[in-house]
Amino acid sequence: MHISEYSGKKERTIEYLVKSLPLGKDTFSHGYISLDNIYKSVKILEGFAKKLDEYDLWKSYKALCTSGVREALNKYFFIDYIKNNTGIELEILEPSDEIYLKYLGVKQAIPKISAYEEDGILFTNISSGNIFINILKKDKLMLSEAFPYGNLRLTQIFKDIPYQKQHKAYEQDINKMVLTLKNISVKKISIRHMISSGSSIAVLTDMLKPNKDAIDRKDLESAYSQIKELNFYEITEKFKLREQQVEILIPTLITYLKIMDFAKVKKFLFTRNSFPYSMSLFYSRTIKDADLQNRFKNTLYHIGEKYSYDKNHSKTVTKFALKLFDNLKTIHSLKQKERKLLEAAAVLHDIGYMIEAKNHEQHSFNIIKTIDFPGISKEFIDMTALIVLMHREKQEIYQNAEHDDDNNYLTDKLTGAKNKNQNDYYKKPVLDNQNQSVNNANIFGNRNINKNNNNYHQNYKNNFGYNFGDYYWDSRAIGIVNADNTNNLLSNFSIEKKLIIYKLASILRIADSMDASHSQFIDDFSVIIDSNCIIIKSLAKKYPYLEYLSFYQKSNLFKLTFGVNIEFETDIDFQ
């Protein structure tokens, strides 16, 4: 427990309390926290609660759980029990947030790290349950992984092996981790620096007593070769460590040595700052990660390159999407954060092509879902993935009459109607669609595809009560399953978030359509907002047939979302 006082940006540590209770021992070996340890946790947290009383901090505290609780099957019971008995509300910290906080803590303690991010740096956090590894180079996050190899976890996995042989088991297991690490990281990446944090540091500093905040590989090596020969009690006696420290000593040493091998570094820097201290700084907004957005952006392109994306297309779509976003501010009324969401989705929207063109949006979605970027929330990633999934028109959304209000929100928003009965629900959008198709038909004259579609759609809707939007033919052919899937994915979000996804996906679709040929025929465009129509005037090198077709296929979601017609005009840019 860390209690801080802030005057301005200045942190002053009022108190620091430590009570150790290795919950991970339960979790990593049995999968759940034992009742006995839950009682003990209550006892410890009761003491901490007294501290909250003392300084009147009940409205300004943060209590976070990491792997020991996060991975326990009975974590919700644990959290509930703690709340009922102590009043303390625990929150689970996701692994990427955990490493991000830890990384920020280290950055705050060792400012020169910012410079190292250019040279190549491996940041590791070895805690009881996980090993986090981040590799940064040229201000890009090259790798960010959480490996389930924490020191306490290892001792639990191999606890039945005789003591003298345990270190061999640890070595093998960590070798495997390093192998995985080699496989997933960019080949021939040169790492110049290594930084570490986490509970494992205390064991090393207590044993090695380094003068500076750095540990040399040779010190670790000689300590390891000494310790291998000693038994538990000899280690305790020789290094004056606590029993709990000795338990995790060997896996900790091995882990450090192996990771240093991988990184090819001779020493690593560390900070003695505790995790609660970093938490305090972060949640009080005392440390900010000024470079986060830049790093994230760099990393997005890095990921794109990894999947051999069409860089020009991606850049063009991103440019267009952002321009649309900026010009349509009065209509979508979204903020800077959503702009970043759009940017991320635009950069990555086609990365799934590498796997298969047919379902590339689904592959893009899957790839993006796996991105773990410290400092960027899981929700942000999930939303990005969904926007990308929806960038293709076959991923249409439908409204199901049987669905609850949440799922009907869109119609609700679009019609501004509330407390309508279900029949009313589906009338208006359908009418809107008809109107739209009329408009579309006017523009395209001889292309009656829309009208037909609409008829089909209406029939379909009348028969099944579904609203698939205009491009039923696509949706029907392959898309129903996908649409269902998209809808399910969407249902995880709140109404507000869903609307954001719709808005951004509709903008992305339009931007994407404007480079449908992937040939960058359109250089630039301007946006004119009329009373009930938005006109995009573009300047093209050639007549963009594909772009036109695509625009009318893709703009429908925009209409559905905003209830506003959007039109596309092109001037050919003659030299």
Report if residue 20 touches another protein, rule: CB under 8 A: yes
CB of 128 to another protein, least distance (A): 16
Q: What are phi and psi of 10, to 5 degrees?
A: -90, 125
Closest C-alpha among 117, 261, 269 to residue 194:
269
Report if residue 234 touches another protein, rule: CB under 8 A: no
Helix and strand totals (H; E) in the chain: 27, 15
CB of 229 to another protein, least distance (A): 15
Residue from 16, 39, 232, 543 that binds another protein (CB under 8 A)?
16
From 43-51, 134-142, 250-258, 284-292, span contacting another protein (CB under 8 A): 43-51
Report if residue 523 touches another protein, rule: CB under 8 A: no
CB of 272 to another protein, least distance (A): 10
From 50-58, 176-184, 352-360, 509-517, span contacting another protein (CB under 8 A): 50-58
Closest C-alpha among 2, 39, 8 to residue 21:
39
CB of 17 to another protein, least distance (A): 4
Tell the residue number behind the tokens 């590498």, with chain if given: 354
State both tokens at 390: 């929806």
Element of type H or E holding 538 = strand 533-540
Report if residue 56 touches another protein, rule: CB under 8 A: yes
Please report, as residue ranges, which positions from 201 to 220 form the binding site for another protein (by CB under 8 A): 207-211, 218-219
Closest C-alpha among 468, 448, 442, 465 to residue 457:
468
State both tokens at 455: 């008829």
From 15-23, 169-177, 302-310, 338-346, span contacting another protein (CB under 8 A): 15-23
State both tokens at 325: 């976003």
Report if residue 464 touches another protein, rule: CB under 8 A: no
For the chain, the straight-line distance linking the first and the last C-alpha, in angstroms and rounded, comes to 69
∠ CA 120-121-126, rounded to 5°: 160
Q: Determine the Cα–Cα distance for residues 509 and 507; give it in Å rounded to an integer.
A: 5
Report if residue 268 touches another protein, rule: CB under 8 A: no
Residue from 29, 34, 40, 51 that binds another protein (CB under 8 A)?
51
CB of 55 to another protein, least distance (A): 7
Cβ atoms of 393 and 554 closer than 8 Å: yes
Report if residue 5 touches another protein, rule: CB under 8 A: yes
Q: Is 431 helix (H, G, I), strand (E, B) or coil?
A: helix
Could you tell me how many residues of this chain bind another protein (CB under 8 A)?
A: 29
At 490, the amino acid letter reads: L
Residue from 164, 172, 175, 222 that binds another protein (CB under 8 A)?
222
Nearer to another protein, 46 or 139 (CB): 46
Residue from 9, 39, 47, 492 that binds another protein (CB under 8 A)?
47
Q: Determine the Cα–Cα distance for residues 326 and 318; give it in Å rounded to an integer.
A: 12
Map 316-365 to HEC letters: HHHHHHHHHHHHCHHHHCCCHHHHHHHHHHHHHCCHHHHCCCCCHHHHHH
Please report, as residue ranges, which positions from 439 to 458 form the binding site for another protein (by CB under 8 A): none
Residue from 30, 39, 53, 569 that binds another protein (CB under 8 A)?
53
Nearer to another protein, 37 or 407 (CB): 37
Nearer to another protein, 253 or 510 (CB): 253
Positions touching another protein (CB under 8 A) are: 1, 5, 7, 12-20, 47-48, 50-51, 53-56, 207-211, 218-219, 222-223
